[in-house]
Amino acid sequence: MKVLVSVDLEGIAGVVHPAETNLERYDYERGRRLMTAAANAVVDGVLNAEPRAEVRVADSHGPYRNLLPEDLDRRARLIRGKPRELGMMAGLQNGTRAAMFVGYHARAGTSGAVLAHTMTDAILDVRIDGASHGEIGINTLLASSYDVPVVLASGDEAACAEFSALVTGAVTVPVKRGLGQHAADTLHPEEACERLRTAAGQAIELHDNVATIPVSGPLRVEVDLHQPRSADLAALIPGITRTGRTVTFDADTMPAVYRTLQLIVLLAQTGS
């Protein structure tokens, strides 16, 4: 079976501050080592449960060039670099049977969540058919559109709760409890990796019991942006309308939604 492991950085055990997630900051090298160790634990857990699995690890934080290729479990393939059509979920195509979220964070504005945001700090909220979603929800809907269940999610307690509200029957691994945007009560990274290894094996064994979320178009998407200039720029995309700091568009499929959101993110970062 083919398994996609999408790995972000903010939800990794021990990580609490942008200095650990930003390649231009002093503690970034520690953050990427912790991220790589967590990815390896999940790969090992998947292959312990299903030795014939084909595992792809998608580097899904910031520039998508954080995981250390030479330190990644050699049994896995690495999806690295950007831009990518499916962004954080590149690799869903071509028969993937299960997806896993590692190191994920809660959506923007979530109380008591560590490093919470939605795709970029320039976005305040994303609503799809009226429901507010962060990266957890957006990526789950995208996976569901390919009929791929998300069978495991790890991050802080708020991120795991956000995931559990969307998906039933999957495995969650809370590795820290948020005390604020830049503070947490966290597991030791090695303990977190042990739990991830065990949970990944359990998730593979249970993957047939995890349902996808029905997704059908047309889909109405609303994006609240932090800066009016970002809304000005986003409104240049054909099919987008603007009301104040909110831009709105319709799309027939989740992949089309995702591509447009990626463009809005790029423009919002330019305009912030």
pLDDT, tens digit, 9 for 90 and up, residues 21-47: 998 888 999 999 999 999 999 999 999
Q: How many residues does the chain have?
A: 272
CA distances for 138 relative to 114, 119, 145, 150, angstroms: 19, 10, 11, 12
**Where in the chain is CATH 3.30.1360.130?**
219-271
Written as one string, the DSSP assignment of 179-192 is EETTEEEE--HHHH
DSSP 61: S
Residues of the chain with pLDDT under 50: 272
Q: Does domain 219-271 have CATH number 3.30.1360.130?
A: yes
**Where in the chain is CATH 3.40.50.10780?**
2-209
> Residue 11, class by beta-carbon neighbours within 10 Å (0-12 exposed, 13-18 middle, 19+ buried)?
buried
pLDDT single digits (tens) 85-128:
999 999 998 899 999 999 999 999 999 999 999 999 999 999 99
Taking the domain 2-209, which CATH number applies? 3.40.50.10780
Alpha carbons 115 and 135: distance in angstroms, whole number: 13
The CA dihedral of 124, 226, 268, 99, to the nearest 10 degrees, is -10
Q: 36 is written with which tokens?
A: 């790589």
Alpha carbons 50 and 13: distance in angstroms, whole number: 26
pLDDT at 24: 85
Q: Which of 251, 255, 38, 33 is nearest to 147 (CA)?
A: 255
